Structure 1
Amino acid sequence: MSLPVVSPVPGRVTPMAEVPDPVFAQSMVGPGVAVLPSGGRQDALSPVDGTVVTLHPHAFVVATGAGQGVLVHLGIDTVKQKGEGFTLHVVKGESVRAGQPLISWDPDAVAAAGYSPVVPVVALDVEATALSGLPDGGDIAAGEQLFSWD
């Protein structure tokens, strides 16, 4: 059964190869796609139904009941912000639904601090061939399907 993965943020779809971090750009963590978020304070949404298994102010992983984990990283090198400007709405271990707000943040503030606000959305522990419908550009709304995990 195919798992729909929704965009955690609104913005412009960007190929993972264009993310300014080699770990993401070379898909070392896993395949996926990135979203260059539109500006202003906003919520980052859960990409799938599941459980929050990893939670930092700047990144999270939600794992489905079937064990499929999706990593969302809010900006590049944003760990250096030590949580400043990020507001958590959930706790580790919490069950969440796709489209549920997990973290509030401001991509403009991330850019103003000198970091890239691009948001990689990564399918963990899977080959790229397991993903379908990966867009290669265009605008996307938060909560709109980004790709399928087959």
Structure 2
Amino acid sequence: MSTTPVLAPVAGRAVPLSDVPDPVFSAGMVGYGAAVDPPREVVDAVAPVSGKVLKLMPHAFVIMTADNVGVLVHLGLDTVALDGEGFTTHVAQGDEVTAGEKMITYDVPAIAANGLNPIVPVVVMDLRQADAITPAEAVLEGAVIAPGDGLFTLTA
């Protein structure tokens, strides 16, 4: 059994994944985790874990840890439709990154101006056991957190 601490990729209000207004995330279809509702300003999204950038799109990325845990960070809901507008990537697919390293600059006001929800779901890919995730106290309290603060822990 191993534990994987997952950090907040952006500042904002920590929220349970079940509160994300998108059933793909709130119902755990992609996996389980938590989310952050970012401030309405330009923010840098950082790596929530250390590992290899398995997938990189302007609006989302997946990092695979050394323990083969895939963590998805999705910047906003339905943001794939923006074709990269509002996002600036700072790493490449295949790069090794360290938790806390800058990944993507996220123009939250531009996303909101397009009528999209800027919330940032963070999930362990393909995780089918919701009880393998222990949310940080901040998630349970809806507290404001900083990038790099603990978001949840995976025990698998």
TM-score, normalised with respect to structure 2:
0.92
Match of 2:31, SS state, is: coil
Match of 2:36, SS state, is: strand
Aligned to 2:118: 117
Q: Of 141, 147, 152, which residue of structure 2 is paired with 1:147?
A: 152
Match of 2:110, SS state, is: helix
The code of the aligned residue for 1:117 comes to P
The question of 1:58 aligning with 2:59 is answered: yes
The CA distance in 2 between the partners of 1:148 and 1:18, in whole Å, is 18
Report the alpha carbon displacement of residue 125 of structure 1 after superposing the two structures with TM. 2.3
- Any runs of at least 4 consecutive aligned residues in structure 1 with deviations exceeding 4 A, and if so which? none
Q: Which runs of 5+ in 1 are unaligned?
A: none
Could you report, residue by residue, the CA deviation over 1:38-70 in whole angstroms, capped at 9, with x for unpaired residues? 121111000000000011000000010110011
Aligned to 2:11: 10
5 Å-filtered alignment, 1:1-150, equals 1-126=2-127, 127-134=129-136, 135-136=139-140, 137-150=142-155
The number of equivalent residue pairs is 150
Answer with 48-57 or 134-143: which moved more.
134-143
Could you report, residue by residue, the CA deviation over 1:64-120 in whole angstroms, capped at 9, with x for unpaired residues? 011001100000000011001110100100000000000001112111111000000
Indicate the structure with greater strand content. Answer: 2
The code of the aligned residue for 1:66 comes to D
Match of 1:108, SS state, is: helix
User: Taking every aligned residue pair, what percent have the same amino acid on both sides?
Assistant: 49
Answer with 134-143 or 62-71: which moved more.
134-143
User: What is the RMSD of the two structures over their aligned residues, measured on CA atoms?
Assistant: 1.0
Match of 2:44, SS state, is: strand
Q: Is the 8 A contact 2:12 2:39 kept in 1?
A: yes
The CA distance in 1 between the partners of 2:60 and 2:135, in whole Å, is 24
Q: Which runs of 5+ in 2 are unaligned?
A: none
Match of 2:100, SS state, is: coil
Compared with structure 1, are the counterparts of its residues 5 and 75 closer, same or farther at alpha carbon in structure 2 (3 Å cutoff)? same
